[in-house]
Amino acid sequence: MTIYLDNAATTWPKPESVIQAMNQFNNLIGSNPGRSGHHLSVEAGRIVFNTREILAKLFGISDPLRIAFTSNATHSLNIVLQGLLKPGDNVITTSLEHNSVMRPLRELESQGIELTIIECSTSGQFVDTEKIRKLIKSNTKLIITTHASNVTGTILPISEIGKIAAEYNIPYCVDSAQTAGILDIDVQKSHIDILCFTGHKGLFGPMGTGGLYIKKNLEKKIRPLMFGGTGSRSEFEIQPDFMPDKYESGTLNTIGIAGLYAGVKFITDIGINEIRKKENFLLTRFINGISDLNKIILYGSQHIEDRVAVSSFNIKDLLPSDVSLSFDENYGILTRPGLHCAPSAHKTIGTFPFGTNRISFGYYNTVEDVDTVIKAIYELSNK
Amino acid sequence: MTIYLDNAATTWPKPESVIQAMNQFNNLIGSNPGRSGHHLSVEAGRIVFNTREILAKLFGISDPLRIAFTSNATHSLNIVLQGLLKPGDNVITTSLEHNSVMRPLRELESQGIELTIIECSTSGQFVDTEKIRKLIKSNTKLIITTHASNVTGTILPISEIGKIAAEYNIPYCVDSAQTAGILDIDVQKSHIDILCFTGHKGLFGPMGTGGLYIKKNLEKKIRPLMFGGTGSRSEFEIQPDFMPDKYESGTLNTIGIAGLYAGVKFITDIGINEIRKKENFLLTRFINGISDLNKIILYGSQHIEDRVAVSSFNIKDLLPSDVSLSFDENYGILTRPGLHCAPSAHKTIGTFPFGTNRISFGYYNTVEDVDTVIKAIYELSNK
């Protein structure tokens, strides 16, 4: 028996409807959207549009064409960071970011872009939102933060950060890799100018899908990362300058997008708050189950409401990789040890370079799953 | 009944085994490869490696790790063009290129990179390979050509071009979007230093897959297009500098790659020459069937051996878009009219700005499909 507790890496299993949607695309449609004009190509285009539409509705975006599809959140983040920032610009971010933000930023730093990194607390929390005001400079061209840490699960106060960014008229970009489909996101209410999301985590789509929302007119300041055929303005050898085509060169992962539609539909049918409630219930049971153990070090906020269902912990005197291996071999529990592609976050909470064990619950996990992993931790910590 | 003759946009249907492989991944594995270390993540990594391996074998590449996965050929081409060329460099290409090459090159031209475009003949042929010698300059840093035109089907003499490039020690990049899986490609024999391919055409994989082969050590000269988590060297905030991780930031389209494996397996099981033979047979029957018609203008070489199974034609006094619409509505024949994202190729053959009708055969097409489209053309041209 296998207990999958690695939902922060990718959710699994996917809803049955996701697999069905992909099979249906494969069997009945199969064509390249926006390319050929025949009825199956048009049908493929309709699926792509419907997916933009259901995502727009999920994120409070009024115009679905403000969403461009990408291959993952990293792709979206690279479009924004490399496309918007120029040498001499300042960008503000946090010490909790994943390498999908830190690596492009370090590369840009080497090209003369100035980074301001807000240090978060050792419990992995973003403590003082007002501090941002003091960090904003005349050359600050972007504020970018994760919505929730992939290491500690800490939720950042994006609405408060967005409000400050809006006051200063600085674009605010949110990396929702760990939250889209799990927390309520409304780009209007939270003053989010750019939203980067991945399809294969909380949105229940397949790997290879992702996207990017850009506020109206802001795309004029963001160069494309790739150039190529878009099926539009084919008479020109220059890239179209309008959304979403500007950022969608090359054939889209249409079968993946068909699956992503079904994933988002699954979420909206159940209700995002129900998903959150279930994941919180599992996380609470887990935290309560292990927090009294002597040898356990738990990271992240004590308040469940401040977190998504990601939990990092260590067992004293045991390496995360050994714990994870034992989980897998002796209990069939699948987790992820180490640095989780987020060295900065681990430095923040003091777990660099060995990292932590990370358990990440998903909608399909059960009480029995939680109890099995608690039992495993008991046994490992008493050895 | 639907007759799909748009295989140059994407092949359809896919082999049943491709769909099965994707379902199997979805149902039994589902995990993120190279990230977590648990047994299902390792299994996902194994699928990714096996796909590199089968592709390497197909293309005569000795080390599978020289292949990086991308989301499509456009992505691969952008990595090469934007990553390799610097202002002041010269690049040699042809007038037959798709916008996946021309648009990045026009963008680079605006940044101070010099383009040399070899004009091809009005029949869409690359006539004088030796001419390349005269065009090579001291600042020529890349020669890039398509392997076959997506408009006329013309095959370019890549081995001859590669030989000249090797003599001058200039990297040669081939865009195999229309040929991978259809023509025999051997990077060693043809002196190909960089091979860009897409997964969803001749290789029978799903949309959203593609890749990039780079000759040993040449990656040192090619900057990554994206930066981010790779599941490797996670302790560093700088991008790994080795293949394939350097170009594989963010979660891979693993389910698509599982499908791509099955697509390539299908090809190697049948034998690439059998596929080529069948497609040539269909193309020959088609060309013979319509070439005597008065109102037909056929583009591309008269010699079937110089072509892949893509045929562009026009019917006098009829717009391509009208012909294509009539095919679809009255005969259930799906084709692609217009410029096919290749305005330069259409200028070369004199069909800009209205373009042509394009029929592209695939392995699954039948003699009946060919005869139906011939009949349709007869009827339309006699109206």
Query: pLDDT tens digits for A36-89?
Result: 789 999 999 999 999 999 999 999 999 999 999 999 999 999 999 999 999 999
Sole residue written with tokens 């600085």: A170
CB atoms inside a 10 Å sphere around CB A11: 25
* Per-residue pLDDT, B13: 98
- At B329 the pLDDT is 96
Indicate the average pLDDT of chain B.
96
Confidence of residue A366 (pLDDT cuts 50, 70, 90): very high
A228: nearest CB among B74, B226, B336: B74
% residues pLDDT > 90 (chain A) = 94
- Return the CATH number at A374: 3.90.1150.10
pLDDT attached to residue A196:
98
Predicted pLDDT at A27:
96
* DSSP conformational letter for A307: B
Is A282 found in the same domain as A222? Answer: no
Residue after which a domain boundary falls, among A240, A269, A298: A269
Whether A157 and A238 share a structural domain: yes
* Residue A373 in tokens: 């992993």
Q: Are residues A178 and A324 in the same domain?
A: no
Quick one: CA dihedral A286, A288, A293, A298, positive or negative?
A: positive
Write down the residue that tokens 């101070």 correspond to: B112
pLDDT top residue among B237 and B206: B206
Among A248, A269, A290, residue at a domain's last position: A269
Task: Give the separation between CA B275 and CA B259, rounded to whole angstroms.
Answer: 19
List of chain B residues whose C-beta atoms are within 8 Å of the C-beta of residue A37: 321, 324-325, 328, 336-338
pLDDT reading at B195 higher than 90: yes
pLDDT class of A128 with cuts at 50, 70, 90: confident
| Contact flag B10-A30 (C-beta cutoff 8 Å) | yes
pLDDT at A353: 95
What's the per-residue H, E or C state across chain B?
CCEECECCCCCCCCCHHHHHHHHHHHHHHCCCCCCCCCHHHHHHHHHHHHHHHHHHHHHCCCCHHHEEEECCHHHHHHHHHHHHCCCCCEEEEECCCCHHHHHHHHHHHHCCCEEEEECCCCCCCCCCCCHHHHHCCCCEEEEEEECECCCCCEECCHHHHHHHHHHCCCCEEEECCCCECCECCCCCCCCCCEEEEECCCCCCCCCCCEEEEECCCHHHHCCCCCCCCCCCCCCCCCCCCCCCHHHCCCCCCHHHHHHHHHHHHHHHHHCHHHHHHHHHHHHHHHHHHHCCCCCEEECCCCCHHHECCEEEEEECCCCHHHHHHHHHHHHCEECEEECCCCHHHHHHHCCCCCCEEEEECCCCCCHHHHHHHHHHHHHHHCC
| pLDDT for residue B302 | 86
Q: In the predicted model, is pLDDT for residue B35 greater than 90? A: no
Handedness of CA A50, A52, A58, A60 (dihedral sign): negative
Last residue within a domain, chosen from A269, A303, A333: A269
Q: Which of B208, B239, B157, B146 is nearest to A108 (CA)?
A: B239
The predicted model gives A132-154 an average pLDDT of 97
Nearest to B10 among A13, A31, A39 (CB): A31
User: Are residues B235 and A71, on separate chains, in Cβ contact within 8 Å?
Assistant: no
Predicted local distance difference test score (pLDDT) of residue A127? 81
Q: Do B249 and A71 touch (CB under 8 A)?
A: no
| A297 sits in which H/E element | strand A296-298
How far is B167 from chain A, CA to nearest CA, in Å? 30
**Which of the four pLDDT bands, split at 50, 70 and 90, describes residue B232?**
confident
Using a CB-CB distance cutoff of 8 angstroms, which residues of chain A are in contact with residue B36? 6, 9, 324, 334-337
Q: Inter-chain contact A26–B250, Cβ cutoff 8 Å? A: no
Work out how many CB contacts closer than 8 A connect A with B. 304
**Distance of residue A113 Cα from the nearest chain B Cα, in angstroms:** 15
pLDDT band at A246 (very low <50, low <70, confident <90, very high): very high
Pair B87, B183 in one domain: yes
- Could you read off the pLDDT of B330-369 as tens digits, one per residue? 999 999 999 999 999 999 999 999 999 999 999 999 999 9
Range in A107-121, B20-34, B231-245, B322-336 with the lowest mean pLDDT: B231-245
Cross-chain Cβ contact A37/B235 below 8 Å: no
Order of strands, sheet of A356-360, starting from the edge strand that comes earlier in the sequence: A296-298, A310-315, A356-360, A336-338
* Cβ contact A106–B227 (<8 Å): yes
CA A288, A293, A299, A304: dihedral to nearest 10 degrees?
Answer: 10
Instruction: Give the contacts of A128 (CB within 8 A, at least 6 positions apart).
Output: none
Residue A234 predicted with pLDDT over 90: no
Are B325 and B244 part of one and the same domain? Answer: no
Disruptive mutation site among A10, A69, A146, A335 for chain B (greatest number of B CBs within 10 Å): A10
CA distance B352 to chain A (A): 8
pLDDT > 90 fraction of chain B, expressed in percent and rounded: 94
For residue A322, the surrounding DSSP H or E stretch is helix A320-326
Which of B39, B144, B207, B233 to probe by mutation at the A interface, max A CB count within 10 Å?
B207
Q: Rounded to whole angstroms, how far apart are CA atoms B205 and B58?
A: 14
- Least Cα distance to B33 among B207, B250, B188 occurs for B250
pTM score:
0.98
**A149-203 tens-digit pLDDT:** 999 999 999 999 999 999 999 999 999 999 999 999 999 999 999 999 999 999 9
Does B261 lie in the same domain as B289?
A: no
Reported as a pLDDT band with limits 50, 70 and 90, residue B1 is: confident
User: Do residue B227 and residue B375 come from a single domain?
Assistant: no
Mark whether B294 and B252 lie in a shared domain: no
Domain that holds residue B332: 3-12+271-381
A46 and A94 housed in the same domain: yes
Within its chain, how far is the Cα of B307 from the centroid?
Answer: 14
3-class DSSP state of A170: coil
Predicted confidence at residue A37, as pLDDT, reads 85
Q: Give the gap in angstroms from C-alpha A131 to the nearest C-alpha of chain B.
A: 25
CB contacts, 8 Å: A71 with chain B = 71, 75, 208, 250, 253
pLDDT digits (tens, 9 = 90+) for A302-337: 899 999 999 999 999 999 999 999 999 999 999 999
pLDDT given for residue A34 in this prediction: 80
Averaged pLDDT, B208-212: 98
CB contact at 8 A, B312 and B154: no
Given a cut of 80, whether residue A383 has pLDDT beyond it is no
Mutate to test the interface with A, among B79, B237, B254 (most CBs of A within 10 A): B237
Residues A109, A251, single domain; the answer is yes
Among B73-87, B125-139, B227-241, top mean pLDDT goes to B73-87
pLDDT of amino acid A298: 96
Can you give the pLDDT at residue B95?
Answer: 97
Does B343 contact A234 at a Cβ distance shorter than 8 Å?
A: yes
Pairing mode of beta strands A210-214, A296-298: unpaired
Q: Is the pLDDT of residue B281 over 80?
A: yes
Judged by average pLDDT, the poorest of A227-231, B132-136, B310-314 is A227-231
**Do A179 and A65 sit in the same domain of this protein?**
yes
pLDDT for the residue A226: 98
Residue A198's DSSP bridge partners are A210
Set of chain B residues whose Cβ sits within 8 Å of the Cβ of A77:
228
Partners of residue A38 in chain B, C-beta under 8 Å: 6, 324, 327-328, 334-336
Specify the pLDDT at position B127.
80
| Residues from chain B contacting residue A344 (CB–CB below 8 Å) | 237
**CB atoms A71 and B208 under 8 Å:** yes
Measured between CA atoms, how close is B354 to chain A, in angstroms? Answer: 9
Nearest one of A119, A120, A116 to A90, comparing CA atoms: A116
Give the per-residue pLDDT at A143.
98
- How far is the C-alpha of B167 from the C-alpha of B165, rounded, in Å? 5
Whether residues A303 and A200 fall in one domain = no
Structure tokens at B90: 């010269």
Overall number of domains in chain A: 2
> Whole-number mean pLDDT of chain A?
96
The per-residue pLDDT for range A263-276, each reduced to its tens digit, is 999 999 999 999 99
Amino acid letter, A141: K
Tokens of A194: 């750019």
ipTM score assigned to the predicted complex? 0.97
Name which of B173, B93, B88, B81 is nearest B138 in CA terms. Answer: B88
The answer to whether the Cβ–Cβ distance between B207 and A254 falls below 8 Å is yes
Contacts of A104 in chain B (CB under 8 A): 226-228
* Phi, psi torsion values for B106, nearest 5 degrees: -65, -40
Shortest CA distance to A289 belongs to which of A171, A207, A228, A370?
A370
> What is each CA distance from A285 to A300, A309, A342, A361, in whole angstroms?
16, 11, 26, 11
Chain A residue with Cα closest to B323 = A38
What is the percent of chain A with per-residue pLDDT over 70, rounded to a whole number? 100
Domain holding A151: CATH number? 3.40.640.10
How confident is the model at residue B231, as a pLDDT?
A: 84
Cα of first residue to Cα of last residue in chain A, in angstroms, is 23
